[in-house]
Chain A
Amino acid sequence: MEALILQILNGLDKGSAYALIALGLTLIFGTLGVVNFAHGALFMIGAFCAVTLQRILSISRETIDETRTDFLGNPLKVDIPYVYDWFGADAGQMIINWSVPLAILFSIPIMMLVGVIMERGLIKHFYKRPHADQILVTFGLAIVLQEIIKAIYGANPIPTPAPAALDGSFDFGVLIGMENIIYPYWRLIYFAFAMITIAAVFAFLQFTTFGMVVRAGMADRETVGLLGINIDRRFTIMFAIAACVAGLAGVMYTPINSPNYHMGMDFLVLSFVVVVVGGMGSLPGAVLAGFLLGILESFASMAQVIAIIPGINQVIIYLVAIIVLLTRPRGLMGRKGVMEE
């Protein structure tokens, strides 16, 4: 029982990441009609916003410690971050440790900007082109973006831990009278963050005039255009918002897995499977499918399950995708006629 509860928690956590990326993909696809293969790269850039902020906060001056030597036997050069000088060593270190949460604020304007530049500079010209062209050009962009990150930060993962106060784990068992249900704080935060973001996106689309227009545009772009509404500008903003969602998901993900330049590609295929299982163009479908696949993946990785069906943990996501698509032609909640040609 405890094991199952733990795996449900794990599933919700993995599902949060899937759902957030799938949500952004669907927002872009649903509003702009563009299949964005660079969405994984946006997630990755978000994660590297956190890395960048960590680097910025740790900018240091070099001092020489005569009492110690480095590996060549020369006096050891010690880097002292400027924040130490300004705020004292303890407070300074604390600021550096808090770089991931701080990066949430730092990344929003950056991701907005990246989103706007991408949409205005490239995606805009591909609205009328076939989906295959959109896929290829955004895939090319994804490669370029990840190679740029690789050129700057290298290929090795970079540790970006959560602040010490949020890095421990929490014994759930005590609350519900069971044993050994220990779960890391940060993963709980990630889940909560995902829920809030998803709720915010839905509320935005549902309860604001802007959202209403965008929803109308999703349903019938031409008619909305004919009504004299400047749908283009709204689409740009929509793209920026989707980029932001992906970026924030990336920032928040960094303490869970150290970011590396190909993390976007790792997530890309999975998140496409999630989107399609949820049904093309359906926001609730994307979220639902994200959590569903996350939970099933977690269950499939239990030793007891693998013992019965060897290798199930390798294929579960794809197996579920096949079963869902064969029983429900347009995924869980897909609309008819979307991307079916």
Chain B
Amino acid sequence: MLGLNNKDLRLFIIVICLTVFAPFILNPFPETSELAQFNAGYPDLMQRFIIFGIFAIGFNILFGLTGYLSFGHAAFLGVGSYAAIWMMKLLTLNVIPAILMSIVFAGLFAVVVGYISLRRSGIYFSILTLAFAQMSYALAYSVLTPITGGETGLQIKATDTPLLSNLAEGEIGRANLFGLDMRSSFELELGNWLFTFNAGYYIAVVFMLIAFYLSIRLFRSPFGMMLRAVKSNQQRMNYTGLNSKPYTLAAFVISGMYAGLAGGLMVAMDTQVGPERMFWTASGEVVLMSILGGAGTLIGPVLGAGMIKYMENIISKINDNILHKWFEFMPDGIEDFLVTIIHPFIGKGWHLTLGLLFMAVIIFLPGGLVELGQRIGRLFRRGGSKDTAAQSTPAE
């Protein structure tokens, strides 16, 4: 079905279910419990999971298949974002043209950067992409302020009157899809549970599913095979008379367009852009996401993206106050002791937790989270059959 083999189809269906039912899955704890702190089922974070998922899927097309490690992918995300917000400021508040424009602009920028950077390989390629991204960041922050808004970035303001949108005088435009506000939500209350279904989230999900489907097809296509050949031995490939450059460039541009799509969606969900989006740490983050989840696998990067964003948004919000509430039932001495022990790892210490987790995953799970899934899968399957779970099918 859909041109997918059974295993891929199963994976695709699992992803569909996961994303569609995410509002339930991510909100396992009732609102009244102290554990509600760990719920991630609110629109903004769910949107971020999806958007960074797309970003990581795109990055993985380049890195997972060809082995080219781009250290400047955030630049495409940034360019896509700027293109999208200018579309919204000037043409229409409908998100579709904005997202299309972000893909186009990111794609064009990727052609330029890719054409130059792909003349080198290995770490030389990485540094070239890094250099382009850092230049984009530095210029967007400073001398390009008239176009990018500089430090304070760009938002949609009351003075913006897009050509095709009829806004009342002084009304601040809102991103919409043919009139459907991205931020409108439907809330379902079941006992003590509260589930939020957000319009923007589901629009992002549609884009993500398309992106994911395309990436499966790409992984399984002759083109994908060719890219893998580049990874395993580019020299041998060149000896056979094949010029690998058009293939890698195509992969680079596709990957850049995915980043642009992610950037466009970010603007569609939350209409603002700032230059930090292009800083090298943002590029580094997507590398971490891919490797953490399992580079070269279909689902890995999405898991990695989810994990990093979860840490960033949930762990950083836990403070001592909340800790004290958790351990309230314990005797005072033990309560204070536990709070003191945990204190360095939460709130402002979330980076520390993240760093430790990275190290743990890399040391013990070289295949990333996907490998963890495989190991758990094997534990549950008697006899350890050769058939690995669909969710953990590596590309190679």
> Are A and B close enough to touch in the complex, i.e. CB under 8 Å?
yes
Residues of A within 8 A of B (CB): 35, 122, 125, 129, 131-133, 135-137, 139-144, 147-148, 151, 269, 272-273, 276-277, 280, 310-311, 314-315, 318-319, 321-322, 325-326, 329-331, 334, 339-341
Instruction: Knowing A137-B358, A325-B128, say if A311 contacts B121 (CB, 8 Å).
Output: no
B127 near A141 with CB under 8 A, answer no
A143 near B351 with CB under 8 A, answer yes
How would you classify the secondary structure of chain B's contact residues: helix, strand, loop or mixed? helix
> Among B80-88, B132-140, B198-206, which stretch is in contact with chain A?
B132-140
* Extra contacts besides A273-B131, A276-B123, A314-B142 (7): CB < 8 Å: A269-B130, A272-B127, A311-B139, A314-B141, A318-B135, A340-B122, A341-B121
Chain A nearest CB, measured from B228 CB (Å): 14
Interface residues of B in 357-387 (CB under 8 A from A): 357-359, 362-363, 366
Contact partner of A143 (CB less than 8 A), chosen from B116, B127, B355, is: B355
Asked whether B263 is an interface residue with its Cβ less than 8 Å from the other chain, the reply is: no
B143 near A314 with CB under 8 A, answer yes
B352 near A148 with CB under 8 A, answer yes
Q: How far is the CA of A35 from the CA of B121 in the complex (A)?
A: 16
Residues in B whose Cβ lies below 8 Å from that of A142 = 355
Q: How far is the CA of A136 from the CA of B71 in the complex (A)?
A: 13
Asked whether B349 is an interface residue with its Cβ less than 8 Å from the other chain, the reply is: yes
Chain B nearest CB, measured from A53 CB (Å): 24
Most interface-central of A277, A314, A334 (chain B CB within 10 A):
A314
A139 near B358 with CB under 8 A, answer yes
Chain A nearest CB, measured from B266 CB (Å): 24
Contact partner of B124 (CB less than 8 A), chosen from A132, A135, A143, A331, is: A331
Nearest to B360 among chain A residues (CB) is A140
Chain B nearest CB, measured from A153 CB (Å): 14
Asked whether B298 is an interface residue with its Cβ less than 8 Å from the other chain, the reply is: no
Instruction: Knowing A269-B280, A315-B139, A329-B120, say if A141 contacts B359 (CB, 8 Å).
Output: yes
A325 near B351 with CB under 8 A, answer no
Nearest to A129 among chain B residues (CB) is B366
Q: How far is the CA of A269 from the CA of B282 in the complex (A)?
A: 13
**Using a Cβ cutoff of 8 Å, how many contacts connect chains A and B?**
121
Residues in A whose Cβ lies below 8 Å from that of B123 = 35, 131, 276, 280, 339-340
Q: How far is the CA of A133 from the CA of B363 in the complex (A)?
A: 9
A137 near B67 with CB under 8 A, answer no
B362 near A137 with CB under 8 A, answer yes
Interface residues of B in 99-156 (CB under 8 A from A): 116, 119-124, 127-128, 130-132, 134-135, 138-139, 141-144
Instruction: Knowing A147-B352, A314-B142, say if A137 contacts B280 (CB, 8 Å).
Output: no
Contact partner of B366 (CB less than 8 A), chosen from A131, A133, A141, A144, is: A133
A273 near B358 with CB under 8 A, answer no
Nearest to B233 among chain A residues (CB) is A341
Chain B nearest CB, measured from A59 CB (Å): 24
Residues in A whose Cβ lies below 8 Å from that of B127 = 272-273, 276-277, 321, 325
A-B contact pairs, 8 of them (CB 8 A): A122-B363, A136-B288, A136-B362, A276-B124, A310-B143, A314-B142, A318-B138, A322-B128
Asked whether B188 is an interface residue with its Cβ less than 8 Å from the other chain, the reply is: no
A136 near B128 with CB under 8 A, answer no
Nearest to B353 among chain A residues (CB) is A147
Asked whether B284 is an interface residue with its Cβ less than 8 Å from the other chain, the reply is: yes
Residues in B whose Cβ lies below 8 Å from that of A132 = 69, 287, 291, 295
B363 near A125 with CB under 8 A, answer yes
Ranked 3 nearest A-B pairs via Cβ:
A143-B355, A140-B358, A311-B143
Instruction: Knowing A311-B138, A341-B67, say if A140 contacts B143 (CB, 8 Å).
Output: no
Asked whether B214 is an interface residue with its Cβ less than 8 Å from the other chain, the reply is: no
Q: How far is the CA of A137 from the CA of B119 in the complex (A)?
A: 28
Asked whether B20 is an interface residue with its Cβ less than 8 Å from the other chain, the reply is: no
Chain A nearest CB, measured from B357 CB (Å): 8
Q: How far is the CA of A129 from the CA of B355 in the complex (A)?
A: 19
Residues in B whose Cβ lies below 8 Å from that of A330 = 124
A311 near B356 with CB under 8 A, answer no
Residues in B whose Cβ lies below 8 Å from that of A143 = 351-352, 354-355, 358
Residues in B whose Cβ lies below 8 Å from that of A272 = 127, 130
Residues in A whose Cβ lies below 8 Å from that of B139 = 311, 314-315
Chain A nearest CB, measured from B138 CB (Å): 4
Contact partner of A325 (CB less than 8 A), chosen from B124, B280, B356, B363, is: B124
B349 near A339 with CB under 8 A, answer no
B138 near A315 with CB under 8 A, answer yes
Q: How far is the CA of A319 from the CA of B134 in the complex (A)?
A: 10
A133 near B362 with CB under 8 A, answer yes
Nearest to A37 among chain B residues (CB) is B284
Instruction: Knowing A140-B362, A322-B116, say if A315 contacts B351 (CB, 8 Å).
Output: no
Residues in A whose Cβ lies below 8 Å from that of B69 = 132
Asked whether B246 is an interface residue with its Cβ less than 8 Å from the other chain, the reply is: no
Nearest to A330 among chain B residues (CB) is B124
Nearest to A29 among chain B residues (CB) is B123
Residues in A whose Cβ lies below 8 Å from that of B284 = 139
Instruction: Knowing A132-B291, A140-B362, A144-B359, say if A322 contacts B138 (CB, 8 Å).
Output: no
Chain B nearest CB, measured from A94 CB (Å): 37
Interface residues of B in 279-322 (CB under 8 A from A): 280, 284, 287-288, 291-292, 295
Chain B nearest CB, measured from A257 CB (Å): 20
B280 near A340 with CB under 8 A, answer no
Q: How far is the CA of A151 from the CA of B351 in the complex (A)?
A: 11
Q: How far is the CA of A321 from the CA of B134 in the complex (A)?
A: 12
Residues in A whose Cβ lies below 8 Å from that of B128 = 321-322, 325
Chain B nearest CB, measured from A138 CB (Å): 9
A318 near B351 with CB under 8 A, answer no
A318 near B132 with CB under 8 A, answer yes
Residues in A whose Cβ lies below 8 Å from that of B287 = 132, 135-136
